[in-house]
């Protein structure tokens, strides 16, 4: 991962991209607390981190769940792995270091939304187990849940919605996860969704059931007695 040496030198950072300027930043506290925001929203802030092979259905599930939660009066947002690379992470490639930085940035943005009382649905391949652990460690106990979207490599390759597996097999993408680069299967995810066995509707229902059991769906509509 290439460090921004010019920016680091100008700001007096301790070194590398992402390092805070030494002695120049102070945490500013808001008079509006997370509890205030959650009371206004009518529910708690949380992050569901969808991980799985490319083509396993992470984005499909995240956006379908977003629609369901929105209809229930839950403040929610999808942070999709492809979408963030159009803006927030557009300067990053797919080296091991850049992938780690990609997850760190999305994790930090997720923290901000959780602080605002929003349910975040982050959908990223995030193939490295250690990197996923890094993101988990950013959050308080109970704020982060890992959702393993399980699907066999053969089925993901058969689907190949973006044609990336075909490119990987032809050598055009040498470090593609599942072909030229490994994927660390989660050891203890909070929830496993098998998209090869269950259709999207059943998978979303399983996610809703999980959130209901956690008590995360006390949205504004429920608070008003409308559901």
Distance CA 8, CA 10 (A): 6
What are residue 144's DSSP bridge partners?
47
pLDDT greater than 50 at residue 137:
yes
Poorest-confidence range of 4-8, 16-20, 115-119, 222-226? 4-8
Q: Across the chain, what does the average pLDDT equal?
A: 88
169: burial class by Cβ within 10 Å (0-12, 13-18, 19+)? middle
**The predicted structure's pLDDT at residue 9:** 37
Q: Token pair for residue 179?
A: 């072909």
End-to-end CA distance of the chain: 49
Residues 21 and 14: their CA atoms lie apart, in Å, by 7
Residue 76's SS3 state is strand
Q: And the tokens for 84?
A: 């963030």
SS3 185: coil
pLDDT at position 164 is 96
Q: How much is the pTM?
A: 0.85
Catalytic residue among 44, 56, 59, 126: 126
Tokens 């006390």 correspond to what residue?
A: 218
Mean pLDDT of 55-78: 96
Give the residue with greater pLDDT, 150 vs 20.
Answer: 150
Q: How confident is the model at residue 89 (pLDDT cuts 50, 70, 90)?
A: very high
Q: Which residue has the higher pLDDT, 182 or 17?
A: 182
Token reading at 226: 């409308």
Instruction: For residue 67, give the nearest of 111, 121, 110 by alpha carbon.
Output: 121
Q: What's the confidence (pLDDT) of residue 25? A: 86
Q: Which of 213, 197, 48 has the alpha carbon at shortest distance from 121?
A: 48
Which pLDDT score, from 0 to 100, does residue 20 have? 66
Q: Shortest CA distance to 132 belongs to which of 140, 124, 121?
A: 124
Q: Is 110 a catalytic site residue?
A: no
30-44, 134-148, 179-193 — which is least confidently predicted?
30-44
Percent share of the chain, pLDDT over 90:
78
Q: Which two tokens stand for residue 112?
A: 């901000």
In order of 128, 162, 221, the CA distances from 177 in angstroms are 10, 14, 41
Dump pLDDT digits (tens) for 152-190: 999 999 999 999 999 999 999 999 999 999 999 999 999
């Amino acid at each position: 991962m290439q460090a921004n040496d010019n920016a680091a030198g100008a700001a007096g950072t301790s070194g590398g991209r992402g390092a805070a300027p030494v002695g120049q930043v102070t945490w500013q506290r808001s008079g509006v607390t997370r509890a205030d925001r959650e009371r206004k929203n009518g529910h708690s802030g949380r992050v569901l981190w969808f991980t799985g092979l490319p083509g396993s259905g992470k984005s499909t599930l995240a956006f379908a769940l977003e629609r369901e939660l929105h209809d229930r009066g839950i403040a929610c947002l999808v942070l999709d792995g492809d979408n963030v690379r159009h803006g927030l992470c557009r300067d990053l490639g797919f080296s091991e270091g850049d992938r780690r930085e990609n997850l760190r940035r999305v994790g930090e943005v997720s923290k901000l939304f959780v602080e605002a009382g929003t349910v975040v649905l982050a959908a990223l391949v995030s193939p490295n187990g250690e990197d996923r652990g890094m993101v988990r460690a950013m959050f308080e106990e109970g704020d982060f849940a890992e959702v393993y979207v399980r699907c066999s490599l053969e089925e993901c390759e058969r689907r190949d919605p973006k044609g990336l597996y075909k490119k990987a097999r032809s050598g055009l993408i040498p470090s593609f996860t599942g072909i030229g680069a490994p994927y660390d299967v989660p050891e203890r995810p909070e929830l496993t969704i098998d998209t090869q066995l269950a259709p999207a509707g059943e998978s979303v229902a399983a996610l809703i059931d999980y959130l209901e059991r956690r008590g995360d769906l006390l949205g504004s509509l429920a608070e008003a007695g409308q559901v």
